Chain A
Amino acid sequence: MSHYSALSLFRHGLTGHKSWQPAWREAELKKRYSIVIVGAGGQGLATAYYLAKIHGITDVAVLEAGWLGGGNTGRNTTVIRSNYFYPQSANFYDYSVQLYEGLSKELNYNIMFSQRGMMMTGHDKHGMEMLRRSYNAMLLNGVDAEMLDTDEVQRRLPLLDPERYPVIGALNQPRGGTARHDAVAWGYARAASKLGVDIIQQCAVTDFIKQGDSIVGVRTSKGDIRADKVGLAVAGHTSVLAGFAEIKLPISSHALQATVSEPLKPVLDTVVLSSATGSYISQSDKGELVIGGGLDMYPSYAQRGNLPVLEHTLAGILDMFPSLSRVRLLRQWAGIVDIVHDSSPIIDRSPAKGIYLNCGWGTGGFKAIPAGGSCFAHLLATEQAHPLAEPFSLKRFETGAFIDESAAAGIAH
């Protein structure tokens, strides 16, 4: 497989870029694997990569019904951050940010992690007190954080000119930022494939193969595949797959939408989330404004956005940045996210023997890809929960030991 560098790019340039090798192998599907992972999104591919890299398990297939990285990994607003309240969340997500910080070099693939800061604005006294609560929690959790006053927010956001919701301060995580979402999937796919993992696209799982009370494989559109363990990393579609094994999960699938503008010269240097309206915005390196907001409230598997939510989200953005009024939107789309009660993930065995779960990411799975993948790989390889993932079990729905960030911080995560 070609090594990527400025030099290799130059060399290939001289010969017309004809000899670049495929980023990942067109793998021949085998009849059995030690581990089959369903879903070649960021989580599934990262899991496969860490299984091979850390645990030396390469007899792994990643099955994808569509094209790899085409689910929520390729539809989200690419925000990476670890500004969490509870130590359990902070430890997990900050580990993810740390892995992201070294990921381009590790994968030899430029994922363009741009640490431009993640700013949450405060608009009234109570809002600022809640941000303060989060700020102190972040400091105690060992996560970088700074409180900004009005002037500093204005200095960093020259376009800011709110009318309805004046900004009186903000909580910023300097290490937060964005990355090129597709590149994360492609980089993991390339690296996993290089280590021997088979990535099979256009391969839809239609059922499980059962033996006694165990699951011993999957039935797919490309035939039956035996496996010792089956890991599900299919976000909003987890319930559908779990349904094949007659298990119900504490998940509801909803559309989360995003929209993107035409590319503009740099106008916004950081990721901004308005805690008053829930709207958030960043500017990509290409110049597009990437805008997101709240969930569509009813369950959906239709990967498209609704108009009322878009209108509200955009109204929130224009209140902060009125000069963007004449900027044009190019696309509106949605991903199907797996919402659980406390918005924290589930990385655990399922009630069906042989099936393992990586789900419950809700609106924030992208930033957790490296940590989610490595913890899920740990579970699949060792049968033990990774220490960072221990709190994220199914058990909590019975015990009530939730890790509910929005409950404590008043901010939806």
Chain B
Amino acid sequence: MSSGKFRLTDKGAVDYNVPINFSFNNKKYQGYRGDTLASALLANGVRLVARSFKYHRPRGIVAAGAEEPNALVTIGVGGYAEPNLKATQVELFEGLEACSSHGWPSLSFDLMAVFGLFGRFMPAGFYYKTFMWPNWHLFEPLIRKLAGLGSPPTGKDPDRYEHRYKQCDVLVIGGGLSGLAAAAAASEQGAEVLIIDDKPDWGGAAFAVAPTIEGTSSARLINDLVNVLKARSNVCMCSRTTALGYYDHNYVSMLEHTDNNQTVKACFWKVRASRVILASGAYERPLVFPHNDKPGSMLAGSVVQYIEKYGVLPGQIAVVATNNDTAYEAAISAHKAGIKIAAIADARPNPSQQVLSAMAEHGIRVYRSSVPTRLFGLNCVKAIQLSSLEDNGKISAKGLKIEADLFMMSGGWNPAVHLFSQSGGKLRFDEVQQAFIPEKANQNIICIGAAAGQFDAVKAFETAVRVGGNSKVVSALPACSGLIVSPLWKVSASSYNDGKSWVDFQNDVTAQDIVLAAGESFRSVEHLKRYTTLGMAVDQGKTSNVNAIGIMAGVLGKHLAEVGTTKFRPPFDSVAIGAVVGAARGGQFNPLRHMAAHDLHEHLGAFMKEYGRWSRPSHYPQHQEIEQESIAREMLAVRTKTGVFDASPLGKIEVTGPDAGEFLNRVYANTMKTLSVGQCRYGIMLNENGTVFDDGIVARLSENHYCLTTTSGGADEVTAWLREWLQGEWPELNTLIIPVTEQWSVMAVMGHQTRKLLSNLGSTIDFSKSAFPFMSVREGKIADVGVRVMCVSFIGELTFEIWTPAGYVPSLLKWLCDDENCVTPVGVEAVVALRLEKGNLIVGVDTDGMSQPQDIGFQDAIENKMGDFIGRRSLTRPASLGSKRLELVGLRVPRGVEPLQAGAHALAKELNGDSRSIGYVTSSAHSPTLGRSVALGLIAGGRQRIGERVTIFDDGTLYDAQIIAVGEYDREGDRLRA
């Protein structure tokens, strides 16, 4: 067990009193509280941590944050496994088990590295040029197996995720010095402020890159600001929180990781902010040159982070290469921490006198006009070759080889403008900083600090205070300054055989690939990205995209701005699917609606099933009944005795006012004007395209008061629909629409003896035939509770639908099913089959999205109706008038034959003839009442063909059926008038 010989005990924010044991690739190590997996591995001298995607190259840690391209690890096992986490973002915890996401059979000995040897035959996009003969299917299985990083977890995710919502005046993204200062200034003014940072602690990179601000140590400043913010009640501080997506109207999604002891693994935030201040810092760019991908090749600024923040020395002897001044600060930091700086190679001929004298002071040798041209070493950097850059931009043939185990590079900085770009903001390319920086915002967002290209710590601080305190600032972005970068997008290799210069480390995209892509027409950034897969890896190109644009610009002889950037897409950092879904799992996903009598149904033995988001009794199996037996028993009970069906999910809408009748007459395809008080009528609704989209009963309760029912699933749709017509098209109608689906429960009591039964109900309603005829409605009371009762029928038997206020329905059901009344509870399946015997259609089952009223037997009702109604004009278009329309008919099969399969088709001609479909079976079931099966179907020109035989096709088998008129049970309707 190693305690970490690369550890400085006088530096860093880790807690050396709390050692933490962890394992990596099954080997045990120790780190400290406050470490990331990356810092702990470096502290233990582990350099090789991963293998790349395509060539399985050995790779080490490059960066210290979300931009890390190499160090992908899988944490945990089984259901807890999480593949492709960046080691730089994994907080160390006791017992952590990590392994490299790639590499077989082991990380250090990866047989797949053989692909590196064939690399020359596998350039970017090689697969588009081959694997065509004999066909792709031959090669694909192997390629699929080779691809992929990490395996997904097995089993259910044992963790929980939550969603949180927040509104605030100011959202500050990034808790570095700029962000903290802006948050302090904004909250000073009384604004509700939310400040977030993806790290567990505050301060960002400030104390590493800018140790003092005008004499005060930045660590002190940070500490003071954090204390101020913590004390303010109008400030909410969320560490370990990453802003992921910037959506419309300043809506930002964020992910908060809890630490590992919480029951909730992560919290997905949705924040609506009046103003967003983006202080997300900047990402350093690697240098592109041959063999630049060896473990031990790191970003200079990240090396400083490891030293200052974690007290970790990533190496002992370092060579620094740069094209800007920031690497000098890094060199000094490393030097002071005890890393020997063997050399600094600066691509610029004339670095500033200020940095040169500082280096001289520390005895560090600076090579001007020098660039790295090669890294040596196998699984770790052993030496660096430097060459001088001649005036004509060529590399001198002679190189200087310097031994070192750490290579620190800085190719300039990219402001982290991802969220600004997502918000619709425009970027421009800044020549001084050689970077894309924010130009014009499209939402209420402003960038500050390094995210705005402001690398001067003092100016950044001032700007942050000003921006934070000024709620009026909208899009005036502060000027950038503090960084001068000399373009160095690629160190030209003198020949192809010099070795590959890696641009996208994770996806193994090289400078050579970019040159190839340009030569093959893939010159736009999007083409480049897609052809080479550059920037498509887990890091989404945070370290590679701008370098690639620079290289492409060089190849094409264009300006970087002309080449442009790819669109920044959410999420900013990869996010677990489970976190985005949150609690919408299992029963919480599209939750089911329960009826008021739900518990009683279960008590009565109901088997509950989902019907259009409602949980309803499917059937009530008794004793050892199977489903079919139960359904048949329930059906016969309705036909011979009495049954009760809970119809509460029926959509219910009240329509009132002096013009309610006129309104309904325009809304329904059949006439509603003539409906008199106390009457009910079945009606169908069309959309403007003439399609039947809902049906139900309209009851006229009083002069200006109607109540209508809709299909169970259609209540909300119909309500919005009616309101749109009333409010938008006919505002002159004095009518009010009130949805009351949840307010009323409905028990449908069915059977020829119902009148007698209900006369014992103790209601104020007269259930006698003369007082309460078929298709009428009555209002009254049962024990002081107001009820409505409709005498209607869906199933072809005398039925009273009793509406009670929702809470009272269980007692009604109890009374009906008690030992004295013995009414049989009937489920949805029996009712669906009963109505099929009668031939009543269900919209959406026996009609399709093309069905018009004339197709379902309403041609006369329409012809007789005066005046316009919704959809009327569509009924006279040519396609509505043809004789080949699919019309609803009955289908009869001989007694003793199994029911037709719903979804079977009818064929144009007899057996073995024309096999074109002329329609299909929409509903089919066995009828215990009739002793044979019954079916409905939509058949082309069906009504003209009543009596004809038709061939039915299902799964290759043909069946014989006869087309008959709709409805087989009680065609005369005597049962309804009982």
Partner of B574, one of A112, A262, A407: A262
Closest Cβ of chain B to A373, distance in Å, is 19
Is B930 an interface residue when CB atoms closer than 8 A count as contact? no
Residues on B with C-beta less than 8 A from A186 are: 128, 531
Residues on B with C-beta less than 8 A from A110 are: 127-132, 136
Closest Cβ of chain A to B37, distance in Å, is 17
Contact A132 B904 (CB under 8 A): yes
Contact A113 B879 (CB under 8 A): no
Q: A131 to B903, alpha carbons, bound, how many Å?
A: 7
Contact B149 A314 (CB under 8 A): no
In the complex, what residue of chain B is closest to A124 when comparing beta carbons?
Answer: B610
Contact B150 A262 (CB under 8 A): yes
Contact A9 B849 (CB under 8 A): no
Q: Encode contact with B along A167-202: 1 for CB under 8 Å, 0 otherwise.
A: 000000000000010110011000000000000010
Contact B129 A5 (CB under 8 A): yes
Q: A183 to B136, alpha carbons, bound, how many Å?
A: 13
Is A34 an interface residue when CB atoms closer than 8 A count as contact? no
Partner of A23, one of B121, B156, B521, B901: B521
Contact B878 A262 (CB under 8 A): no
Contact A139 B956 (CB under 8 A): yes
Q: Encode contact with B along A240-265: 1 for CB under 8 Å, 0 otherwise.
A: 00000000000000000000011111
Contact B136 A112 (CB under 8 A): yes
Residues on A with C-beta less than 8 A from B82 are: 326
In the complex, what residue of chain B is closest to A317 when comparing beta carbons?
Answer: B577
Residues A10 and B137 in contact in the complex (CB < 8 Å), given A264-B151, A264-B152, A326-B153 = no
Contact A140 B905 (CB under 8 A): yes
Residues on B with C-beta less than 8 A from A5 are: 129-130, 132-133
Q: A21 to B519, alpha carbons, bound, how many Å?
A: 7
Partner of A318, one of B524, B585, B903: B585
Residues on B with C-beta less than 8 A from A316 are: 589
Find the residue from A74, A126, A135, A326 having the highest chain B CB count within 10 A.
Answer: A326
Is A156 an interface residue when CB atoms closer than 8 A count as contact? no
Residues on A with C-beta less than 8 A from B84 are: 262, 328
Q: A317 to B585, alpha carbons, bound, how many Å?
A: 10
Is B762 an interface residue when CB atoms closer than 8 A count as contact? no
Residues on B with C-beta less than 8 A from A14 are: 120
Residues on A with C-beta less than 8 A from B83 are: 262, 264, 326-327
Contact B152 A407 (CB under 8 A): no
Residues A262 and B538 in contact in the complex (CB < 8 Å), given A319-B585, A332-B571 = yes
Q: A164 to B149, alpha carbons, bound, how many Å?
A: 30
Contact A287 B149 (CB under 8 A): yes
Interface with B: A220-228, A303-311, A379-387, which one? A303-311
Residues A140 and B128 in contact in the complex (CB < 8 Å), given A5-B133, A315-B581 = no
Contact A129 B879 (CB under 8 A): no
Interface with B: A45-53, A206-214, A363-371, A394-402, which one? A394-402
Residues A129 and B153 in contact in the complex (CB < 8 Å), given A112-B127, A136-B953, A315-B581 = no
Contact A130 B903 (CB under 8 A): yes
Q: A23 to B531, alpha carbons, bound, how many Å?
A: 12
Is B354 an interface residue when CB atoms closer than 8 A count as contact? no
Q: Encode contact with A along B110-126: 1 for CB under 8 Å, 0 otherwise.
A: 00000000001101001
Partner of A326, one of B127, B152, B524: B152
- In the complex, which residues 280-307 of chain A have their Cβ closer than 8 Å to any Cβ of chain B? 285-287, 303-307
Residues A264 and B149 in contact in the complex (CB < 8 Å), given A9-B130, A329-B574, A331-B540 = yes
Residues on A with C-beta less than 8 A from B136 are: 104, 110, 112-114
Partner of B586, one of A16, A109, A163: A163
Contact A330 B538 (CB under 8 A): yes
Residues on A with C-beta less than 8 A from B422 are: 304
Is A95 an interface residue when CB atoms closer than 8 A count as contact? no
Contact B850 A263 (CB under 8 A): no
Closest Cβ of chain A to B688, distance in Å, is 11
Sort chain A's interface into a size bin: 35 or more
Q: A407 to B151, alpha carbons, bound, how many Å?
A: 40
Q: A161 to B156, alpha carbons, bound, how many Å?
A: 9
Contact A164 B902 (CB under 8 A): no
Partner of B521, one of A22, A115, A164, A331: A22
Q: A114 to B270, alpha carbons, bound, how many Å?
A: 38
In the complex, what residue of chain A is closest to B85 when comparing beta carbons?
Answer: A328
Interface with A: B221-229, B667-675, B912-920, which one? B912-920
Residues A4 and B130 in contact in the complex (CB < 8 Å), given A23-B521, A139-B956, A400-B879 = yes
Residues on A with C-beta less than 8 A from B533 are: 286
Contact A133 B123 (CB under 8 A): no
Q: A303 to B130, alpha carbons, bound, how many Å?
A: 33
Contact B522 A23 (CB under 8 A): yes
Is A55 an interface residue when CB atoms closer than 8 A count as contact? no
Is A408 an interface residue when CB atoms closer than 8 A count as contact? yes
Is A24 an interface residue when CB atoms closer than 8 A count as contact? yes
Interface with A: B139-147, B480-488, B803-811, which one? B139-147
Is B394 an interface residue when CB atoms closer than 8 A count as contact? no
Is A56 an interface residue when CB atoms closer than 8 A count as contact? no
Contact A13 B120 (CB under 8 A): yes
Contact A140 B916 (CB under 8 A): yes
Q: Encode contact with B along A125-160: 1 for CB under 8 Å, 0 otherwise.
A: 010111111111101100000010000000000000
Residues on B with C-beta less than 8 A from A340 are: none
Q: A266 to B512, alpha carbons, bound, how many Å?
A: 30
Closest Cβ of chain B to A238, distance in Å, is 22
Contact A136 B140 (CB under 8 A): no
Is B968 an interface residue when CB atoms closer than 8 A count as contact? no
Closest Cβ of chain A to B934, distance in Å, is 15
Is B679 an interface residue when CB atoms closer than 8 A count as contact? no
Partner of B132, one of A69, A104, A319, A406: A104
Residues on A with C-beta less than 8 A from B587 are: 163-164
Q: Encode contact with A along B61-95: 1 for CB under 8 Å, 0 otherwise.
A: 00000000000000000010111100000000000
Residues on B with C-beta less than 8 A from A305 are: 570
Is A31 an interface residue when CB atoms closer than 8 A count as contact? no
Residues A325 and B157 in contact in the complex (CB < 8 Å), given A266-B148, A315-B589, A331-B569 = yes
Contact B155 A323 (CB under 8 A): yes
Contact B130 A20 (CB under 8 A): no
Contact A329 B129 (CB under 8 A): no
Contact B132 A147 (CB under 8 A): no
Contact A74 B530 (CB under 8 A): yes
Is A351 an interface residue when CB atoms closer than 8 A count as contact? no
Q: A36 to B140, alpha carbons, bound, how many Å?
A: 38
Q: A20 to B531, alpha carbons, bound, how many Å?
A: 14
Residues on B with C-beta less than 8 A from A129 are: 902-903
Partner of A132, one of B270, B571, B609, B901: B901
Residues on A with C-beta less than 8 A from B128 are: 4, 109-110, 180, 183, 186-187
Closest Cβ of chain B to A283, distance in Å, is 8
Contact A329 B519 (CB under 8 A): no
Pick 26 A–B contacts, CB within 8 A, sort by A. Answer: A5-B133, A9-B121, A17-B123, A17-B516, A67-B527, A69-B527, A70-B524, A104-B135, A114-B136, A136-B917, A139-B956, A163-B586, A201-B524, A261-B577, A262-B84, A262-B574, A263-B147, A264-B152, A314-B580, A318-B585, A328-B574, A329-B574, A330-B540, A399-B877, A400-B879, A408-B849
